[in-house]
Every structure is written in C-alpha cells, then in structure tokens.
Amino acid sequence: MTKTQKLLNDNGVIRWTALVLIALMMFFAYMFVDVLSPLSTLLETSKGWSAETYGTFCSSEYFLNVFAFFLIFAGIILDKMGIRFTGILSGAVMVIGASIKLYAISDLFTPECALYRFLDSFWTSFPATAKLASLGFMIFGCGVEMGGVTVSKAIAKWFKGKEMALAMGLEMAIARLGVAAVFRLSPYLSTWANEAMPTVVTPVLFCTILLMIGLLTYTIFTFMDKKLDAQLGEVASDEPEEQFKVSDIGKLFTSKTFLIVAGLCVLYYSAIFPFQKFATGMLETNLNMPTAEASGLFSWFPIGAMVLTPFLGAFLDKKGKGASMLILGSILMTTCHLVFALVPLTTPLAYAAIILLGISFSLVPAALWPSVPKLVEERYLGSAYSVIFWIQNIGLMAFPIIIGWSLDKTGGYTVPMLIFSSLGAAALILGLWLKVEDKKKGYGLELPNIK
C-alpha cells in the first residue's frame, strides 16, 4: 500500500455506514435491556413479582460479568481475537439469553414443567419465572456488555484521528433511541393482542427478533472491517503489531487516573440505568398517572440524551473540555434526583427534571468514552474498556437490589431518589479530581480529538 492510497475508513460515506451497522446491534440490545422497565407493575399483577423480586431480576443482568469476571475475559478475547469475532460472539450470546428470558415469562413455562417444579423447590420467596428469567438475563448481560466494549474499540479503530467523539456520541444516541422507543412501544405491545388482558410476552418476543436482526447487521460490518485490515496489512486474527499481554491489565489497576475515570463511571451510571428500571413506577406513584402515560413521559429522558450527545461529541472533537463536561453532567444529575426526592412533583416539573437529566446523560458519556484512548495504549484498549465496564457492572448489579429493597421497606420513592443523588455527588468529587490530575499530568482530556 502506497502512502497516497486511501484507506476504507478515509471515505466518509463508508466510515459512517460502518458506524450505523455496528450501532444498530446496540440499538436493539438497549431496547431489550429495558423492554420490561415500563411494565414493572404488570409483572407484579401477572407474574406475582414484588418490587424486591423485580430489582433482583434487574440486577441479574450483571451477575456473571461481575462475579464470574466475564467482562475481564471479554476484554482479553477482544484484544486477542479482534472486533469481528468478538462482536459476532456477543450478538449470538445476546440472542441465546433473550430466548431463555422469553421462555421464562411465556405461557409455555408453567407449574406442569419439570424445570418449573425444580426451580420452585428452593428459594421459594423468589418465583420460578423470575429465576429462569434472571438466568436468561445473566447470559444476555454477558453479550450486551461484551458488545458495548467491542463497539467502543471498533469506533476507536475506524475513527482514529477523525471524528471519534462525534462517532461515539452518535452510537450512544442511536442506543438511547432504542431506550426511548421501547418505553413507548412496550406498553402498546403489551395490549396489542388483547387490550383487556395485557401481557409482558409480546414486547419481549418483538425485541428478541430485533436482536437477531442486530446480529445480522454486525455480521455485514465484519466484511467491511476485514477489507480495512487487508489494506492496513494486519494479520487475519486482528492482532496488533505489538501484541496484547494479559499482564497489561495490571497496568490499569495501578493507574490512578484510569481508576478515577472507572470510579466516576460506576457512580454516574449507577444513578442512571437502575433509575431507568424504576422511573415509570416512580412517576406512576408520584403523579398518579397510568403506565403508558408515565412511560411516555420518561421516554423524553433518552430522547434528550439522543439529540444532544452527537452535538456534544462534535464540540469535544473540535474544542475539547472533556473533564469539564464530566463535572457539569454530574452536577445536573445530582440536582435532578434531589428534585425527585424532595420537591412535590408536578407534571411540568417532572418534564423539566427528566429533560435536564437527559442533558446530563449527554454530557457525561460524550466526554467519558473518547477520553479512555488518551489514558491507555491501543494494544490493550479493549481490556481498558472491559475493566471500566466490569467496575461499572458492580454498581449496576448492586443498586437495583438496594432500590427494590428500599422500596419494599419504605413504601415510597424518597429514599431511593436520595440514594441516586448521593451517587451523583460522589461522581462530582471524582470529576473535580480528574480535572486536577489532567492539569498536572497533561493527558489532554481538555484538548480536542481532531488533529
């Protein structure tokens, strides 16, 4: 290849087409993650799940990632095997886990089934349907988190020296659109067949089919990536010239700045994703509105994030200020949760707080993920993202259980919202610390990405 020969990712149309293909897999994955979030009250009436049962089920998505260290292994697989193999593997794992979850909440899984009777024979306070659904969600969680890591590294590869923050922002925007879509669609699909008898099965079935389509779109992307590697002269296994070593992971746990970023990530996201699981129920209770209306109101949160994230990514590419954006996002999130906790809620106030939370959720991810390549070497970038996701998953697993427990104990949402706001305050402290470290050591977190 001559120096004047253009690479595949130098072509803007091809580069952005690749982004759409990989982002679609995460769009459908995020739909599946929250497909039951607007239907928590329906799960209580149709399946007999309590708030604590629902919270434990939500936490199961992260169980294997945390306790079986699957995310750490996912990063090693990614750095060893490349984005093509790992992306297809993650999509297949998502489909398998989703299918198990679908079966668990379907009418096919009844007390007449031997598996049902076996699962019902222990931990009797936790329904058999919830046990099997949790198992499926655990497997799906392995796939979706592996997919998130893979997509981040794929974008870093295809947009290196280009519009990386904008690309990551658009990918996140597409994923947030999936959340907004499912909060609108789930209540509708639950009554699609019979309005008098709503069901949780139809929405889950619909999103499982979409996951299969997402696997297909990523497979198409792998052919484009293979051609790019041929141009770059890389070997078929996708291994970089300076090979990744497992010992490289140790460098991450000894980097103070990297650990600050990981800590900020777990605190911030623990106040966002678990909140999504309970937001519809909170709005139903505090505003005395039906499920579909409450779900529709909350859908403005991911819509706000979806609209603003690409613009903030473009600003970060051209102007920088990544550390400052992390601080501002933490302030906004803390404020919003304090409003939900302490201020008598009205519909206009709820809209304002949710849109403000969407702005916060644009600022932090848009600045956070493009900052990681500035802190670590490219050969173990996949492992770096995996370690951050693993630490993040600890919080995402723990807090739905904590929130569900506090709901059952207090019977209201004041304490849960105060818990979320305290996480935001802690994230703010780490954001300020990160800015100080960046100023001292010159990581370039406040500098633009485009060179």
Give residue-wise pLDDT tens across range 363-400. Answer: 887 787 778 888 887 777 777 888 888 888 899 889 98
Q: Could you tell me the sign of the dihedral formed by the alpha carbons of 73, 75, 81, 86, in that order?
A: positive
- Using the predicted structure, report yes or no on whether residue 317 has a pLDDT greater than 80: no
pLDDT of residue 451: 62
pLDDT of residue 132: 95
Question: Residues 326, 364: contact at Cβ < 8 Å?
Answer: yes
Domain 11-441 has CATH 3.30.70.260: no
> Tell me, what amino acid is at 182?
V
d(CA 354, CA 183): 14
Question: Residues 79, 383: contact at Cβ < 8 Å?
Answer: yes
Question: Residues 245, 383: contact at Cβ < 8 Å?
Answer: no
d(CA 327, CA 345): 26
> Which has the closest alpha carbon to 167: 376, 318, 361, 15?
15
Which pTM was predicted? 0.75
d(CA 53, CA 55): 5
Instruction: Pick 441 or 97 by higher pLDDT.
Output: 97
- Using the predicted structure, report yes or no on whether residue 5 has a pLDDT greater than 70: no
What are the residue boundaries of the structural domains of the chain, listed by start?
Answer: 11-441
Question: Residues 332, 356: contact at Cβ < 8 Å?
Answer: yes
Cβ count within 10 A of residue 295: 25
Question: Residues 177, 27: contact at Cβ < 8 Å?
Answer: yes
Q: What angle do CA 363, 23, 103 make, to 5 degrees?
A: 110
pLDDT of residue 365: 77
What's CA 67's distance to the chain center, in Å? Answer: 18
- Using the predicted structure, report yes or no on whether residue 236 has a pLDDT greater than 70: no
Region 219-245: mean pLDDT is 71
- Using the predicted structure, report yes or no on whether residue 269 has a pLDDT greater than 80: yes
Give residue-wise pLDDT tens across range 14-25. Answer: 999 999 999 999
> Tell me, what amino acid is at 420?
F
Q: What angle do CA 137, 128, 405 make, to 5 degrees?
A: 70
User: What is the overall mean pLDDT for the chain?
Assistant: 86
pLDDT of residue 246: 62
d(CA 182, CA 33): 9
The model's confidence at residue 71, banded by pLDDT at 50, 70 and 90, is: confident
d(CA 50, CA 44): 6
Least confident of 80-89, 236-245, 300-309, 315-324: 236-245
Give residue-wise pLDDT tens across range 190-214. Answer: 888 677 788 999 999 999 999 999 9
- Using the predicted structure, report yes or no on whether residue 124 has a pLDDT greater than 90: no
pLDDT of residue 330: 93
Considering the chain, what percentage of its residues have pLDDT values greater than 90? 40
Give residue-wise pLDDT tens across range 75-113. Answer: 888 888 889 999 999 999 999 999 999 999 998 999 999
pLDDT of residue 240: 45
d(CA 330, CA 106): 40
pLDDT of residue 393: 84
